[in-house]
């Protein structure tokens, strides 16, 4: 709620007598009998009132205002209509439960707002001068006063000092020269005074151990989002909010509101702990920067789905870790192998590796030349033989096998709410095996990111898909089912063997003992260099990374993942 009320008008910009033109403010005196001809206009004169007359005029105005008789108070000014409207707006919108006003005595110090005014009469210490209309400028007396406003919500009153300009009228009485600063000394004609809700400063966002996260460049967008989510409006009566009186530009111009008084303090907001771990985040930031190429990395805790770190480079660009949408290459063979195992294969099942094979009119080959007719599923996996997976996949799988198991077991294709915008992995169901064959090796129309592939490794490690989240307690999508213990054990053995003697064995520094991993090299259209992918787990930590144009998975993405895994989930 913002019940702003414009206090005063632009013609009268100050309550005190510090310069400017002579306003012909006409008020009517008389008893109302004898018709219009009997009524005499009451106007401001150039002669200043005596100190006694000024003091009595100021006291009468303040007494009427303090008693809540705003009509009577307005009649004691040189502009009753504007004064009554402003006083009523102040009373209605600020809602003090009591107003105490006392005269302080003569003063020579104008209010802050009056120093900006060009329309107030001159003080009694200044000589009369011609106004813009040619009339002599009136002189007057400055009277100080003290205000103390009470509010039902607090036992602490709002105390402030004010200044009134008092002029002499043509009937010999005194009147308060009306201006916005009569109500509060900092108000001028371009400002409003209003009640607004006041919220506690946004929570300090920390890692899971209470450590600050502001130093990590990749987290800037997340921290900004969380800060921006703090309440910015609403009703001051909202639970948890405070109430503040503030002055603001009436025309909506730039500049922060000026807080004048806090009626009620807001309830403090506790710190917000994310799932992020500062040690792992520091390592992730360092490793993606060290690649020297556009890259990203995500670390997930398999036992909970908590995202322990994510980083991307350049940190001022797209959050590739969450929003990237590129082919993952042979890291997809983790899911293809799960489908093959569920179709009846075992790690020792024959899975020959021809030198080349054809997919949709395109010849597909392997990183290592030559044919290996004696390969088993384990051999094909640890050596990442593309032709083995394509040929065997076409024999025993269906076009919808890969997207189905990816969604039902690994949660890929579900809509994830992680706490930050993310691209959900897309594995389209092709209409024929020719189109599906490319997906078996993570090419074709498959699109994902390190968030998705870190979750795949986490699911293999724990045996249960737990949707990645950034804020503890967030709702997590559940997969339809888990792999059988037999299939899960076989899949884990394939990934562990890849680290011991397969494509992941070449990663430097070496992955921790007992790790399971899968390399990936993804060819991208119109690019001369393949993208490097790597996903792995060690203990209760799963990590995936991609490096654009990094080449083989073990060369660029692998070392980054290994170094983060070596930090560990402590």
User: According to the model, what pLDDT value does residue 265 have?
Assistant: 86
Distance CA 302, CA 454 (A): 9
Q: What is the mean pLDDT of residues 183-194?
A: 82
**C-alpha torsion 296→302→303→308, nearest 10:** -10
pLDDT tens for each residue of 358-378: 887 788 888 888 999 999 999
| pLDDT of the residue at 395 | 95
- Output the pLDDT for position 523: 84
Residue 26 is predicted with a pLDDT of: 44
Identify the pLDDT of residue 378: 98
Q: How far apart are CA 449 and CA 428, in angstroms?
A: 16
Q: Is the pLDDT of residue 9 over 50?
A: no
Is residue 466 within 8 Å of 305, Cβ to Cβ? yes
Each residue's pLDDT tens digit, 365-414:
888 889 999 999 999 999 999 999 999 999 999 999 999 999 999 999 99
> What is the predicted pLDDT for the residue at 358?
87
**pLDDT tens track for 154-175:** 889 999 999 999 999 999 999 9
Q: Which residues contact 317 (CB under 8 A, 6 or more apart)?
A: 294
d(CA 424, CA 439): 16
Please give the pLDDT value at position 200: 78
> pLDDT at position 240, please?
63
Q: Domain extents for the chain?
A: 5-27+41-189, 205-273, 278-567
Amino acid 112: pLDDT: 62
pLDDT of residue 329: 96
pTM exceeds 0.75: no
CB of 469 within 8 A of CB of 307?
yes
User: How far does Cα 211 stand from its chain's mean position?
Assistant: 20
Give the pLDDT confidence score for residue 252 in this predicted structure. Answer: 57
Average pLDDT taken over every residue of the chain = 86
First to last CA, the chain: 47
- Which pairs with CB-CB distance under 8 Å and at least 24 residues apart come from 74-77? 75/27, 76/175, 76/176, 77/175, 77/176, 77/177, 77/178, 77/182
Phi, psi dihedral angles at 468 (to 5 degrees): -60, 140
Which band of pLDDT confidence, cut at 50, 70 and 90, is reported for residue 477?
A: very high
Whether 556 shows a pLDDT value over 70: the answer reads yes
| pLDDT (average), residues 68-91 | 94
CA-based angle 341:344:350, to the nearest 5?
80
Looking up tokens 């490097």 gives: 532
Task: Give the SS3 label for residue 526.
Answer: coil
Task: Please tell me the predicted confidence (pLDDT) of residue 150.
Answer: 95
The confidence score (pLDDT) of residue 251 equals 61
pLDDT at 238: 55
Q: Which of 13-17, 178-182, 294-298, 559-563 bottoms out in mean pLDDT, i.e. has the lowest?
A: 13-17
Range with the lowest mean pLDDT among 118-127, 184-193, 211-220, 269-278? 118-127
Alpha helices in 343-400 (DSSP H): 377-382, 386-396
- CATH class of this structure's domain 5-27+41-189: alpha beta
Mean pLDDT of 450-470: 98
Residue 452 above 60 pLDDT?
Answer: yes
3-state secondary structure of 537: strand
Residue range 81-96: mean pLDDT, rounded: 91
Higher pLDDT, 413 or 131: 413
Least confident of 116-120, 320-324, 528-532: 116-120
Q: Which pLDDT score, from 0 to 100, does residue 525 have?
A: 66
Region 235-256: mean pLDDT is 66
Residue 126 has what pLDDT?
A: 35
CB atoms within 10 A of CB 125: 11
User: Is it the case that residue 125 has pLDDT exceeding 80?
Assistant: no
Residue 314 confidence (pLDDT) above 70: yes
pLDDT band at residue 138, thresholds of 50, 70 and 90?
low
The CATH fold of domain 278-567: Beta-lactamase (3.40.710)
Strands (E), 199-330: 205-206, 242-249, 258-264, 272-273, 295-300, 307-313
524 or 82, greater pLDDT: 82
Q: Is the pLDDT of residue 132 over 50?
A: no
For residues 316 and 238, the model is more confident at: 316
Per-residue confidence (pLDDT) for residue 192, from 0 to 100: 79
**pLDDT winner (highest mean) among 6-10, 236-240, 336-340:** 336-340
- Give SS3 for 161: strand
Mean pLDDT of 417-440: 93
pLDDT at 528: 77
From CA 113, how far away is CA 117, in angstroms rounded?
Answer: 7
Average pLDDT for residues 121-132, to the nearest whole number?
40
pLDDT of residue 284: 98
Mind listing the pLDDT tens digit for each residue in 20-70?
333 334 444 444 444 444 567 889 998 999 999 999 999 999 999 999 999
Q: How far apart are CA 212 and CA 195, in angstroms?
A: 34
Which candidate, 392, 387, 412, places its Cα nearest to that of 337?
Answer: 392
DSSP 151: E
Q: pLDDT above 90 covers what percent of the chain?
A: 69
């Amino acid at each position: 709620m913002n019940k702003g009320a414009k206090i005063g008008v632009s013609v009268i910009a100050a309550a005190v007598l510090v310069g400017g033109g002579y306003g012909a403010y006409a008020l009517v005196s008389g008893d109302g009998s004898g018709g219009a001809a009997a009524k005499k206009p009451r106007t401001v004169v150039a002669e200043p009132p005596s100190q006694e007359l000024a003091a009595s005029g100021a006291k009468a105005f303040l007494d009427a205002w303090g008693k809540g008789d705003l009509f009577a108070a307005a009649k004691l000014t040189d502009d009753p209509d504007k004064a009554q409207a402003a006083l009523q707006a102040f009373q209605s919108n600020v809602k003090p439960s009591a107003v105490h006003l006392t005269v302080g005595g003569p003063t020579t110090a104008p209010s802050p707002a009056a120093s900006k005014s060009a329309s107030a009469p001159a003080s009694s210490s200044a000589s009369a001068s011609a106004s813009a209309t040619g009339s002599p400028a009136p002189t007057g007396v400055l009277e100080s006063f003290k205000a103390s406003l009470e509010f039902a919500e607090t036992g602490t009153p709002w105390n402030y000092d004010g200044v009134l300009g008092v002029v002499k009228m043509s009937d010999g009485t005194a009147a308060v020269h009306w201006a916005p600063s009569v109500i509060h000394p900092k108000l001028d004609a371009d400002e409003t005074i209003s009640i607004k809700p006041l919220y506690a400063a946004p929570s300090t966002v920390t890692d899971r151990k209470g450590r600050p996260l502001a130093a990590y460049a990749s987290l800037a967008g997340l921290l900004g989002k969380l800060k921006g989510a703090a309440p910015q409006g609403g009703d001051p009566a909202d639970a948890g909010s405070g109430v503040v009186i503030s002055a603001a530009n009436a025309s909506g111009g730039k500049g922060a509101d000026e807080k004048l008084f806090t009626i009620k303090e807001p309830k403090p907001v506790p710190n917000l702990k994310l799932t992020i771990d500062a040690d792992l985040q520091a390592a992730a930031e360092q490793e993606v920067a060290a690649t020297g190429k556009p890259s990203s990395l995500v670390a997930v805790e398999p036992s909970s789905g908590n995202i322990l770190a994510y980083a991307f480079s350049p940190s001022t660009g797209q959050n590739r870790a969450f929003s990237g949408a590129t082919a993952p290459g042979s890291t997809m063979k983790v899911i293809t192998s799960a489908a093959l195992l569920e179709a009846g294969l075992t790690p020792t099942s024959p899975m020959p590796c021809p030198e080349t094979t054809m997919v949709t009119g395109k010849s597909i080959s392997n990183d290592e030349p030559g044919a290996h007719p004696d390969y088993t599923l384990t051999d094909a996996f640890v050596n990442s033989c593309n032709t083995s997976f394509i040929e065997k996949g076409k024999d025993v799988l269906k076009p919808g096998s890969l997207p189905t198991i990816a969604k039902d077991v690994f949660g890929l294709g579900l809509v994830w709410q992680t706490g930050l915008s993310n691209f959900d992995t897309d594995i389209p169901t092709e209409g024929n095996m020719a189109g599906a064959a490319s997906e078996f090796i993570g090419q074709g129309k498959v699109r994902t990111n390190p968030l998705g592939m870190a979750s795949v490794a986490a699911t293999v490690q724990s045996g249960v898909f737990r949707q990645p989240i950034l804020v503890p307690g967030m709702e997590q999508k559940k997969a339809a089912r888990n792999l059988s213990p037999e299939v899960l054990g076989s899949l884990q053995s394939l990934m562990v063997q890849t680290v011991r003697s397969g494509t992941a064995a070449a990663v430097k520094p070496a992955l921790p003992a007992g790790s399971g991993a899968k390399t990936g090299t993804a060819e991208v259209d119109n690019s001369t260099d393949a993208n490097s992918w790597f996903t792995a787990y060690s203990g209760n930590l799963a990590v995936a990374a991609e490096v654009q144009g990094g080449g083989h998975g073990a060369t660029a993405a692998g070392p980054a993942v290994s170094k983060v895994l070596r930090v560990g989930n402590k």
